[in-house]
Amino acid sequence: MTLLNVGIGLLAFFGFGIYDLSRNRKIDASVIKRYFTGNGLFTWLLSPLNTLLDILSLPYINKGIYKLEDLPTTHQAEIKRLIEASHKENLVEKLAEKIKENPRTMFFFKWYGQEVKNDIDVPSFCEPYKYIKTIGVSVFNKKQSTSKHFGPMRATLRVLYNVNDMKDKTAYIEVGDTLHYWQDEKLFIFDDTLQHQSFNESDSPRYCLFVDILRPCLIPSLAAAFVSVLCVLLKGVNNVFYKNWKVVKP
């Protein structure tokens, strides 16, 4: 391989990164640095694959931020089923004792299609789902927030549902120029390869379903195959993404 070919390859790879980064809003020098040299680096490395996933998902255009009704009825049904289960199972009561003084705790019940066994009994989360691949619960204790970050791959969409009631606008998620307050709307669906940051500036814990659902596409089995690959890829780097969390999983 000649130096010219290497240069063309690197230029093309950088081009994928530029396209991927351009999908974000409120881009400034800090966002660019974070994407290419910070916690967005893994997203950049996967940008050619993510671009391919955007193409393979057509005619379902990536909206970035979604309403429930933007998804196929099959996807909507599974999300509604999971939300109902979270209330039926008294999720907050079951997890309250576990979080103790941990600033942030992540409980996993499914991890990219694989069942996760732990000592928290939530039978409804162990039932089969066709489109939902990850089921977790993200718990922020009072006065906690994440740093700004990017998710790795666009084979799935991130579905968040705030299970407990927040009484004011001090608990929210920021995606680009969108601020979503859990007091106003409990459900939020978005492409998590966009830069985002979560906040709980209230004086009480925030319990949020943390779900990955297959992106709508003409061949769901293809998206599921990418999720299986992602599961393998993330096994070795999981601690990078959740290094500031107490993670409850094997």
What average pLDDT does this structure show over 13-39?
93
Q: Computed from CA positions of residues 214, 187, 189, 249, in that sequence, does the dihedral angle turn out positive or negative?
A: negative
Q: Which residues contact 176 (CB under 8 A, 6 or more apart)?
A: 24, 25, 26, 64, 194, 195, 196
The pLDDT confidence band at residue 17, using thresholds 50, 70 and 90, is very high
Q: Which residues contact 181 (CB under 8 A, 6 or more apart)?
A: 166, 169, 171, 172
What average pLDDT does this structure show over 96-105?
79
Q: Which residue has the higher pLDDT, 244 or 128?
A: 128
Give the separation between CA 244 and CA 250, rounded to whole angstroms.
Answer: 17
The pLDDT confidence band at residue 250, using thresholds 50, 70 and 90, is very low
Give the separation between CA 57 and CA 218, rounded to whole angstroms.
Answer: 7
What average pLDDT does this structure show over 47-57?
91
Residue appearing with tokens 């985002």: 196
How many CA atoms, within 13 angstroms, populate the side-chain half-sphere of residue 148?
Answer: 17
* The pLDDT of residue 243 is above 90: no
Give the separation between CA 244 and CA 134, rounded to whole angstroms.
Answer: 20
Residue appearing with tokens 């089969």: 128
